[in-house]
Chains A and B, each alone.
Chain A
Amino acid sequence: MDGEEAPPGALNLADYAPAGARTVDCFRRIRKIGEGTYGEVFEAMDIITGERAALKKIKLDDGKEGFPRQILREIKLLKKLDHENIIRLKEIVVSPGTAHGAGGSDDYMYRGDIYMVFEYMDHDLKKVLHHSTPSQVKYYMEQLLKGLHYCHVNNVLHRDIKGANLLISGGGKLLKLADFGLARPFTRDGSFTNHVITLWYRPPELLLGATNYAEAVDIWSVGCIFAEFLLRKPLFPGRTEQEQLSKIFELCGFPNEENWPGVSKLPLYKTIRPTTPTKRRLRDIFHNFDSHAVDLIDRMLILNPTERISAHDALCAAYFITKM
């Protein structure tokens, strides 16, 4: 926009910064870090400030959806969430030529690319999940729960907690929740899709087809990760939804109206066959570990979601109070 003069008598608009996204030319690309659901991720450096950043390129297809609603949702949520254990969306930049005022005519069909600029993190939790010391585990778990508690207080479910979506930085000292592409705000009576959360970390209520779920879905995933830290291997590595359920029931017992009122009304309950044994024996596989840690895992991996511990209560558990 050209700096046209304000009419006489009007306020001085010099401080009115014409808003607008910067272009990706403000960054120097260093290397490709990975491939996300919505496109490639690059490590890059802000040419002006020298700050490192992660640039996530948004795939824009030519479909009738237009700008993807999932990205709009992620932008909306990340702007709302401001916490040291949640990834910060610094800005969004566009490819040169997309800048406003450039197009508009019928024959101008160049749409441009869009990049979400995140703070740079060294690696994800997957890398350290199978070889962390007990004190590191406690440190990561505390930060994970703090970030998650903040989300839940703000009525946001993450819905895809897994190693690859938990990012580590600061020499392994700092953990942040990332990838809110599946996250969504929740209401008490909302009805959601049940095809969220990577299979291994998916809670039984989703596997049984529940569409009305809450914060407890994230806690189940946290419990699976906690257990994986101790065991140094995945707790429930199912290959199909059916097998995922069997693996869960094998350790957590078979759900019935007694231990989980309402479970028999879930859409897929009738399709499952009880396996033997049906008694809960989750604690048996952890007999060599810190009992406070096992107590907490036990309360996170309760079949009935309404009895599962909350992020807040988990942070108050003996496990976090006792010194290593």
Chain B
Amino acid sequence: VAVATENSAPTRPQLCAPYDDEVEATLRAMETNPAERPSPYFLETTQGGRMSALVRASMIAFMGEFSRKNKLADGTLQRAAYFLDRYLSVTPESDDALQLRLVGATAVFLAAKYEDQYTLRKIDASMVAARCGYTSETRHKMVSIMETEMLAALGFNLGGPTAYTFVEHFTRYYGDGEEEKQLKEAAH
């Protein structure tokens, strides 16, 4: 995601929000906090080369399809990707496809609940487990356990800015026209 960052404070119009600069400073500080961002080298280090960039990309594709199909809230996929990268930064995973789907789908479930409190009207833990391929009656427990494990790995720091946050922030003075919407979508 490429976003113009040279948006220096004095030249930018401050239309309504007196806290704009503070908001941006906080977002940037959070972005660089090591406890709240993924390691840039987790594929080589934590995953020890077992996971390729291609595998990660296919996980993101799976997660994207899962959130689109269930019409999950805007920003869910970006937050789920952020959870996934941070989880994979500290937790070595096998190359077991079922397990990787569980990790990806759980990241989406957590992110969706974080972004939107009505998420459970759309999906629950049982549906998440089913999408991964689990069939047992108690399959939702697999998701619950993975959730706790993921939350612990993230140190419960869930609110860091994602690609979505920054695009929203930099385009906050755009109107709601078709063109603006398309531009935002392209940036996401």
Show the binding face of A for B, using Cβ within 8 Å. 1, 4-7, 10-11, 13, 15-21, 60, 62-67, 69, 72-73, 75-76, 79-80, 91-92, 94, 98-104, 106, 108-112, 114, 184
- Chain A: interface secondary structure? loop
Q: From B117, B150, B152, B156, give the contact of A69 (CB < 8 A).
A: B117
CB of A66 within 8 A of CB of B155, answer: no
Q: Given the known inter-chain contacts A67-B147, A67-B148, A69-B120, please indicate yes or no for A16 contacting B113, CB distance below 8 A.
A: no
Shortest CB–CB separation between residue A94 and chain B, in angstroms? 5
CB of B155 within 8 A of CB of A19, answer: yes
CB of B149 within 8 A of CB of A103, answer: yes
- CA A13 – CA B89 in complex, angstroms? 12
By a CB distance below 8 angstroms, the chain B residues around A65 are: 120, 124-125
CB of A66 within 8 A of CB of B117, answer: no
- CA A64 – CA B142 in complex, angstroms? 11
- CA A156 – CA B154 in complex, angstroms? 25
Q: Given the known inter-chain contacts A13-B41, A64-B140, A65-B124, please indicate yes or no for A104 contacting B149, CB distance below 8 A.
A: yes
- CA A7 – CA B47 in complex, angstroms? 13
CB of B34 within 8 A of CB of A64, answer: no
- Chain B: interface secondary structure? helix
Whether B61 is near chain A, meaning CB under 8 Å from some CB there, is no
By a CB distance below 8 angstroms, the chain A residues around B158 are: 72, 75-76, 79
Q: Given the known inter-chain contacts A18-B89, A91-B156, please indicate yes or no for A102 contacting B149, CB distance below 8 A.
A: yes
Whether B182 is near chain A, meaning CB under 8 Å from some CB there, is no
Mask: chain B, 138-166; 1 = CB below 8 Å from A; 0 = not: 00111111111111111111110000000
Known: A16-B34, A72-B110, A92-B156. 12 other contacts (CB 8 A): A10-B41, A16-B39, A17-B35, A18-B90, A19-B86, A21-B155, A60-B144, A66-B110, A99-B152, A100-B87, A101-B153, A111-B145
Shortest CB–CB separation between residue B110 and chain A, in angstroms? 7
- CA A78 – CA B159 in complex, angstroms? 11
By a CB distance below 8 angstroms, the chain A residues around B48 are: 4
CB of A100 within 8 A of CB of B159, answer: no
Of all chain A residues, which has the CB nearest B150?
Answer: A100
By a CB distance below 8 angstroms, the chain B residues around A103 are: 145, 149
CB of A98 within 8 A of CB of B124, answer: no
CB of A20 within 8 A of CB of B152, answer: yes
